[in-house]
Amino acid sequence: MSKRKLVETGMHPNNPYFNNPPDFVALAQLYPSLAPFVAVKSSESSKGTSGSGTRGIINFQDPSALRELTYCLLKKDFSLDLEIPLDSLCPPIPNRLNYICWIEDLLDIDSTKDIHGIDIGTGASCIYPLLGCSRNMHWKMVATDIDDRSISFADSNVKRNHLDNAIRIIKNNSTDIFLALLFKDPEQRYDFCMCNPPFYKDEQDIQDSLEGKEGQASAVCNGTINEMITAGGETQFVKQMVDESIVHGQRIRWYTSMLGKRSSVDTVIAYLKEKKILNYTLTTFRQGRTRRWAIAWSHGNAHASRASMQHISNKMIKLTPPKTILSFQCKGSTVKTILRSIENLLDGLLIQHRSGATDSETDSTMVRVLHCTAERNTWSRAARRALARESAEKGGEKSGSKTAKEVADSALAPVVLEFDIRVSLTFQSTCPEVQSSSTSKRAATPAQASHMIEFTWTIGEDRALFESCFLHFRNKFQQDHTTMQEQAP
């Protein structure tokens, strides 16, 4: 999946509704309770049809229709049974799934490990914990809210779906967003928190939105006062999350929140920068005409995964943090040869490496990933001088048989730097490695192939260290690789 396609559709590719909009007519046949809300129209397009040239239409301004649709989608696609009052916020499922899919990307870890998350302001539906835990059997979530009625509905929604072993509901009676009870156990750590805060600061703010000034949704937005309004609006809410995150630090790995207004994204990012929190990332969620944004920040030294950064539209690029992905191209070779050069160079620099799983987000099958860990800075000029000195001194002693690693360990201070190297084909049409016999019209040579070599910074606080490692590596690779090609028969 190319980045352009992702940004155009706006929907996450792991979202079950990506390129697969619900067929309202078929859904109403399955669940007769939806039938009164579905009008059938003849259709030219085949998308969202029941295949007979007709198309089901739902009035998205009708709260009863929206709620029934939400109930049916949850039943059919997630085996979830929901009950929410008609006057409360009805969660649009594809949009809520976009946020869950992005969190899954952000965590980017072994799915067999228990994952602990918090949903701030879970609402009557308890939608994020229900979706998150039904998609990911290793997720455990705590869900909070300030509203008694929402707490009571959320609680019964969890029990009705037999997820009370995975989801715990807590009423927040305090003025803090992260109530003390979340951290009562001093050992407790969370992998993430998520939040869909009330967007508006007052009734006028809602009115402005309805008049199309900002953040207007394409469906009716029913909600109680608590769901819609908070003092200072969403920016104040998320700023308070940022302030409290400074206190709780790494007890939560990724702090995240959705934002309903484009302007709030700039305000929150400016606030993060003011607080010197530069380890952050952002994304856009789109469902129909409705756009939402989400931001994540961390007080740890692990950076956002490559996958979680794939959905940033070009318009948002100026808001992104300094790059954690650096790349260069290599023309005229094969993945195998490139990998051999890379591994030789890494060995020479005493950088540990192991093969990683390839990700599925690329159209090319020829993608290789190496996870790399540098324990010492062996590439700077100062490091090379120190190593030479140490070798010379040790060479003079009787224990001159030290390994290169032992020499480096005694001469250089430890560093924390981890990164992934990803080698991928950047165009396929003429490359022999990806041609199937059916598509191969003319013979291609390795000289026509072009590969992208990407460094993704995964762990570390010292940006200069990462950048210097990449630059040193790139220069050496280009020198060695040219020499190797020249020597090739």
Ligand X SMILES: C[S@@+](CC[C@H](N)C(=O)[O-])C[C@H]1O[C@@H](n2cnc3c(N)ncnc32)[C@H](O)[C@@H]1O
User: Counting contacts by CB under 6 A, is residue 105 touching ligand X?
Assistant: no
Site mask, ligand X, residues 183-222, x = CB under 6 A? -------------xxx------------------------
What minimum distance in Å lies between the beta carbon of 122 and ligand X?
5
Short-list 20, 39, 19, 18, CA closest to 28: 39
Consult the annotation and say whether 96 binds a ligand: yes
User: Counting contacts by CB under 6 A, is residue 333 touching ligand X?
Assistant: no
d(CA 145, CA 119): 9
Torsion sign (Cα): 177, 180, 183, 186: positive
**Both tokens assigned to 221:** 């937005």
Among 150, 161, 283, 310, binds ligand X (CB under 6 A): 150
d(CA 453, CA 4): 20
Residues near ligand X (CB under 6 A), total: 22
Among 101, 177, 342, 407, binds ligand X (CB under 6 A): 177
User: Measured from the CB atom, is 231 or 388 closer to ligand X?
Assistant: 231
Among 40, 146, 206, 415, binds ligand X (CB under 6 A): 146
d(CA 273, CA 434): 44
* Interacting span for ligand X (CB under 6 A) from 57-65, 70-78, 226-234, 422-430: 226-234
Consult the annotation and say whether 121 binds a ligand: yes
Among 22, 117, 121, 233, binds ligand X (CB under 6 A): 121
The residue assigned the tokens 């009008």 is 39
* Interacting span for ligand X (CB under 6 A) from 224-232, 331-339, 376-384, 481-489: 224-232
User: Counting contacts by CB under 6 A, is residue 351 touching ligand X?
Assistant: no
- Whether residue 263 contacts residue 214, with contact meaning beta carbons closer than 8 Å, is answered with yes
User: Measured from the CB atom, is 224 or 337 closer to ligand X?
Assistant: 224
User: Measured from the CB atom, is 147 or 418 closer to ligand X?
Assistant: 147
Q: Which residues does 20 contact at the CB level (< 8 Å), separation at least 6? A: none
Residue 227 burial by CB count (10 A; 0-12/13-18/19+): exposed, middle or buried? buried
Short-list 72, 82, 85, CA closest to 158: 82
Short-list 216, 122, 191, CA closest to 163: 122
Percentage helix, strand, coil, to 5, in the chain? 40, 20, 40
What minimum distance in Å lies between the beta carbon of 416 and ligand X?
35
The β-bridge relationship of strands 115-120 and 190-195 is parallel
User: Counting contacts by CB under 6 A, is residue 229 touching ligand X?
Assistant: no
What minimum distance in Å lies between the beta carbon of 65 and ligand X?
17
* Interacting span for ligand X (CB under 6 A) from 116-124, 266-274, 310-318, 325-333: 116-124
User: Counting contacts by CB under 6 A, is residue 145 touching ligand X?
Assistant: yes
- Whether residue 470 contacts residue 460, with contact meaning beta carbons closer than 8 Å, is answered with no
Among 15, 49, 98, 125, binds ligand X (CB under 6 A): 125
The residue assigned the tokens 């908070």 is 230
Site for ligand X in 230-289 (CB under 6 A): 230
What minimum distance in Å lies between the beta carbon of 139 and ligand X?
16
- Whether residue 75 contacts residue 81, with contact meaning beta carbons closer than 8 Å, is answered with yes
How long, in residues, is the chain? 489
Other beta carbons within 10 Å of 57: 15
User: Measured from the CB atom, is 243 or 393 closer to ligand X?
Assistant: 243
- Whether residue 441 contacts residue 342, with contact meaning beta carbons closer than 8 Å, is answered with no
User: Counting contacts by CB under 6 A, is residue 420 touching ligand X?
Assistant: no
User: Measured from the CB atom, is 240 or 308 closer to ligand X?
Assistant: 240
User: Counting contacts by CB under 6 A, is residue 147 touching ligand X?
Assistant: yes
Which residues are annotated as part of the binding site for S-adenosyl-L-methionine? 96, 121, 145, 196
Residues lying near ligand X in the complex (CB under 6 A) are found at: 89, 91, 120-123, 125, 127-128, 144-147, 150, 172, 177, 196-198, 226-227, 230
Which residues are annotated as part of the binding site? 96, 121, 145, 196
